[in-house]
Amino acid sequence: MKRVWLAIGAVILLLIMAFFLRNAIYQTVIIPLAYLLWLGRFYYSAVPQIILWGSLLVILLMIVLSNLIPDAPSTPTEEPQHKLAKGQVETLAGWLVKADKGTYFKWQIANRLGHIGLGLRETSERRGRFQSANEAVEKYLEAGVNTSFVDYPNQKSVPTPLDVNPKEVVDYLESQLEMSRGRHP
């Protein structure tokens, strides 16, 4: 309700001001606008009508012709080559190539191998054929599964569990797989 009374008061105040300022508004706003309109009409009337009608006719002709002319093929279009989705092996190979570029790619490899190792460990333990790995490989697999890449500094001078050569881990996982199948490496 308070806003309604404020709005009514503002309108009344504006009406009073408009009454007293009508001559000032007439001199500063209305007369200059009327002059600009008069000047525009003066210049418009100074241009011969044949030029105005000719310009309008050319514009309309261009619009009509642009709609009547069929679209020409710009360039021969080739079918877009669909990028094939990368498989797990190709993705892992890409991470191996990029492993020297930072901790993230090292961790990605460790994460993938860690999950593979977990699955093999469960299978091997069920069959009673589990062989533990050396401490560095165990820490590597654990780091891949139980940590994130942000847990490790991106400095090469600070040793981390991710610094183990993935080939050692793959060799261990292969031997674990052979043992789980009943073969001895």
Q: Are 97 and 175 contained in the same domain?
A: yes
Residue 124 lies in a domain: yes
Q: Are 104 and 31 contained in the same domain?
A: no
Residue 31 lies in a domain: yes
Residues spanned by the domain of 140: 88-180
Residue 52 lies in a domain: yes
Instruction: Check pLDDT > 60 for residue 116.
Output: yes
Residue 106 lies in a domain: yes
Mind spelling out the 3-state secondary structure of the chain?
CHHHHHHHHHHHHHHHHHHHCHHHHHHHHHHHHHHHHHHHHHHHHHCCHHHHHHHHHHHHHHHHHHHHCCCCCCCCCCCCCCCCCCCHHHHHHHHHHHHHHCHHHHHHHHHHHHHHHHHHHHHHHHHCCCCCCCHHHHHHHHHHHHCCHHHCCCCCCCCCHHHCCHHHHHHHHHHHHHHHCCCCC
Per residue in 49-82, pLDDT (tens digit) is 999 899 999 999 999 988 888 776 666 667 777 7
Q: Are 102 and 135 contained in the same domain?
A: yes
| pLDDT confidence of residue 13 | 93
Instruction: Check pLDDT > 90 for residue 118.
Output: no
Q: Are 97 and 168 contained in the same domain?
A: yes
Q: Are 128 and 47 contained in the same domain?
A: no
* Among 40-44, 67-71, 154-158, the least confident range: 154-158
Q: Are 56 and 131 contained in the same domain?
A: no
